[in-house]
Amino acid sequence: MSFIDFEDVTFAYTPVEGDLDAEGKQIIPPVLFDHFTASLPSSFVSIVGPNACGKSTLMLLASGRLKPIRGTIRLFGKDLSTIHDENEKNLLSSFIYQNMEFEQDEKLADLLMQVYEAGGHAQKSGDFYKDIISVFELSSITARKLNGLSKGEIQRTLLAFSVLYGSKSIFMDEPMFAMEQKQKESCLDFLKHYSKEKGIPVYISMHELELSRKYAQDVLLIYPNRDMTFGSPDEVLVPEDLEKAYGIPAVLLKDSENLTRKNLKELSEQTVQNT
Ligand SMILES: Nc1ncnc2c1ncn2[C@@H]1O[C@H](COP(=O)(O)OP(=O)(O)O)[C@@H](O)[C@H]1O
Ligand SMILES: [Mg+2]
């Protein structure tokens, strides 16, 4: 059985009142998905593609955080439009939003435990909890308050939440950009095994093509016109398709990736300084 089913889905963002173009006319966001039908399997998937190709929107739709204008989206065979209970939705899929921040001044340890206890793991074990704290390198900061964490620490905390909560599936929108390379690798390595051993689909959007190649079981490459290629990293991350998606020669992509990462790092440092 497939994990995500899009059936004849049409989606556009809602116009924002007061969003006017140069001539003072209301801006109507374009249709992003037009009679879109696709089935995606339970797997450990990296979603890649150039900025604005629709990675975030696809995941928000697939997890029921955005609703289509027309058509049906099913997760594990369940029509998402029939789920009205937030808890039920969260237990079906967790979502790590891009650039999430904490405002609470609760201690990290308290919230980690609350998340674990409230979640969907059938059997809770102290060892699993300790493993998660260790994998995401949180042991030295569990006494800290949530609103005092750095961007990288927030991202590691969110990854821990998503695993401790024990949803049947996890979506993550660029969840690691502020982390160090070594931490990204150990997190991806853990998530890959977690996904496989527990049979939990994990879909992660990210910029890093090399990490996708190294860790993902499957890759979903989205083109600017929202065509997509899905398959193993070796099948999908080939020069021809990457050039088609990113519009530049594949040999240059490694540099552009570093550039993106550098920009994001600078941006995240500014954000942290400003808060
Ligand atoms: N809240 C929104 N309102 C209007 N347009 C949006 C909104 N969020 C994203 N978009 C537009 O939808 C397109 C797809 O965006 P997104 O899914 O965020 O792409 P990606 O995650 O691949 O960068 C882009 O053109 C983006 O500008
Ligand atoms: Mg995005």
Q: What is the pLDDT of residues 93-136, one digit of tens each?
A: 999 999 899 998 999 999 999 999 999 999 999 999 999 999 99
272 band by pLDDT with thresholds 50, 70 and 90: low
The structure tokens listed for 136 are 């995401």
258 band by pLDDT with thresholds 50, 70 and 90: low
How are beta strands 31-40 and 4-12 bridged, if at all?
A: antiparallel
The structure tokens listed for 177 are 């950009």
- For the question of whether the overall pTM of this predicted structure is more than 0.85, the answer is yes
Are the CB atoms for 87 and 167 separated by under 8 Å?
A: no
Check whether 266 has a pLDDT greater than 90.
no
Check whether 163 has a pLDDT greater than 70.
yes
Atom of ligand 1 nearest to the CA of 173: 21
Measured by CA distance, the residue closest to atom 6 of ligand 1 is 13
Average pLDDT value for residue range 77-83: 98
167 band by pLDDT with thresholds 50, 70 and 90: very high
Measured by CA distance, the residue closest to atom 27 of ligand 1 is 52
Average pLDDT value for residue range 177-186: 96
Task: Using the mean position of ligand 1's atoms as its centre, give its distance from the Cα of residue 248 in Å.
Answer: 21
Question: 229 - beta bridge partners?
Answer: 221
> Could you give the CA distance from residue 146 to residue 111 in angstroms, rounded to a whole number?
9
What amino acid occupies position 252? L
C-alpha separations of 113 from 106, 133, 137, 141, 142 in Å: 12, 11, 16, 14, 11
Q: What is the pLDDT of residue 268?
A: 55
Measured by CA distance, the residue closest to atom 16 of ligand 1 is 54
Kindly report which listed range (52-56, 71-75, 76-80, 120-124) carries the lowest average pLDDT score: 120-124
Map out the domains of the chain as residue ranges: 43-66+86-274
> Could you give the CA distance from residue 114 to residue 98 in angstroms, rounded to a whole number?
22
Task: Using the mean position of ligand 1's atoms as its centre, give its distance from the Cα of residue 131 in Å.
Answer: 36
Check whether 91 has a pLDDT greater than 60.
yes
Q: Listing from the earlier edge strand, what are the strands of the sheet with 228-231?
A: 94-96, 170-173, 202-205, 44-48, 218-222, 228-231
DSSP conformation class of 111: H
Ligand 1 environment, Cβ below 6 A: 13, 29, 32, 49, 51-57
Task: Using the mean position of ligand 1's atoms as its centre, give its distance from the Cα of residue 249 in Å.
Answer: 25
DSSP conformation class of 247: S
Q: Listing from the earlier edge strand, what are the strands of the sheet with 4-12?
A: 31-40, 4-12, 70-75, 78-79
Measured by CA distance, the residue closest to atom 23 of ligand 1 is 52
Pocket test residue of 21, 55, 57, 221 for ligand 1, highest count of atoms within 8 A of CB: 57
Q: What is the pLDDT of residue 207?
A: 92
Q: What is the pLDDT of residue 257?
A: 60
Atom of ligand 1 nearest to the CA of 205: 21
Task: Using the mean position of ligand 1's atoms as its centre, give its distance from the Cα of residue 58 in Å.
Answer: 10
Atom of ligand 1 nearest to the CA of 51: 23
Measured by CA distance, the residue closest to atom 18 of ligand 1 is 56
73 band by pLDDT with thresholds 50, 70 and 90: very high
Task: Using the mean position of ligand 2's atoms as its centre, give its distance from the Cα of residue 258 in Å.
Answer: 17
Contacts of 81 (CB under 8 A, 6+ apart): 67, 72, 73
Architecture of 43-66+86-274 per CATH?
A: 3-Layer(aba) Sandwich (3.40)
Q: What is the pLDDT of residue 255?
A: 57
Task: Using the mean position of ligand 2's atoms as its centre, give its distance from the Cα of residue 48 in Å.
Answer: 10
Task: Using the mean position of ligand 2's atoms as its centre, give its distance from the Cα of residue 122 in Å.
Answer: 32
Q: What is the pLDDT of residue 143?
A: 95
SS3 for 32?
A: strand
Check whether 170 has a pLDDT greater than 70.
yes
Check whether 1 has a pLDDT greater than 80.
no
